[in-house]
Structure 1
Amino acid sequence: MKAKRQRKIKEIIKNNDISTQEELANALKKAGFNVTQATVSRDIKELRLVKIARKDNVYVYGLPKQQAIVHSEDRLRLMMQEFVQDINFSENLIVLKTYPGNAHGVASLLDSSNWEGIIGTLAGDDTILLIIKPREKVEDILNKLKSLMK
């Protein structure tokens, strides 16, 4: 059922401008899927959907440009280059600023990267907070993040 629903999600976002999880949930319900917002949110994360700006500056869900990239380091590099605007830090915290709607996708890849020193991430719409332990790892992680953006 999950695979069928996720195939339908891909079809829906390819053929429609979907801006919110609620719109996606409603489209799935019309297609015969009984879903909650939480289910839609998990599917968006698993499918690694991104928000893409149309010419009129309305953001809609889309598939990553290069879905064929399998290796997570390559995916992370692509996401860092395309969506991260700025990196800053204070003490044991690193803050990444992304384009609106892209923080969750980047944070998810950082979570799955299992880098030594990152004990957690917290993502909003356009901001990611990385918690680093020990504090001495901050410089190494900053350098690694910056190298991925090149």
Structure 2
Amino acid sequence: MNKEERQKIIRQLISQNTIETQEELLALLSRNGVNATQSTISRDARELSIVKTYQEDGKIKYTIVDQASEKDSEKKLREALQGSLKRIEQVAFIVLIHTENGLADVITNYIDEVKYEEIAGTIAGSDTIIVITHSDKMAQSFVNKIELLFKSRE
């Protein structure tokens, strides 16, 4: 099976099922006649813009990110921050965002979707996000944006 066929099946499985882990996705692929490795699925996930998102019940599921508008992405980021932000701090040109445990990777995906001009890159742990900006001034600008999002109600 070629990559395009495998990715088509992955898109279909994600849109039709609630999949919480790559292991679940691998099992579903196997049941659908697709043999793939974890690294292949990870690569496919990046190429297909598959991210972890939260459902209304708080459970994580894989979702294919459509090319949403910046406003939609910022709305998702605001909602995620309002439910999980613990603390934000600036250390020179680096911003540390502390979240509830297990939520940093999801919030990082939303930050990456918005594509803030200040950001050079992001790294997510379980409860901490490291945001590397281009300068101290840009770090402060980013902190201000996050604080406004956290405090705002649509």
* TM-score normalised per structure 1: 0.70
Q: 1:63 and 1:21, CA in 2 relative to 1: closer, same or farther beyond 3 A?
A: closer
2:51 aligns to what? 48
Contact 1:5 1:33 in 2 (8 A): no
Number of aligned positions between the proteins? 139
Which sections of structure 1, spanning at least 5 residues, go unmatched?
none
1:36 aligns to what? 37
1:102 aligns to what? 103
- Alignment partner for residue 9 of structure 1, among 4, 14, 21? 14
Q: 1:60 Cα deviation (Å)? A: 5.1
AA of the residue aligned to 1:11: Q
Q: 1:13 and 1:40, CA in 2 relative to 1: closer, same or farther beyond 3 A?
A: farther
Contact 1:51 1:102 in 2 (8 A): no
Q: 1:85 and 1:137, CA in 2 relative to 1: closer, same or farther beyond 3 A?
A: same
Q: 1:104 Cα deviation (Å)? A: 2.3
Offset from partner CA, 1:8-50 (integer Å, 9 cap, x none):
1343326xxx4x3223322321232233323444538824323
Q: Secondary structure at the match of 1:119?
A: strand
Q: 1:121 Cα deviation (Å)? A: 0.7
Q: 1:75 and 1:3, CA in 2 relative to 1: closer, same or farther beyond 3 A?
A: farther
2:79 aligns to what? 78
AA of the residue aligned to 1:96: I
Q: Secondary structure at the match of 1:88?
A: strand
Which sections of structure 2, spanning at least 5 residues, go unmatched?
none
Q: CA RMSD in A?
A: 3.1
* Aligned residues with identical type, % of pairs: 27
Would you say 1:118 and 2:119 are equivalent positions? yes
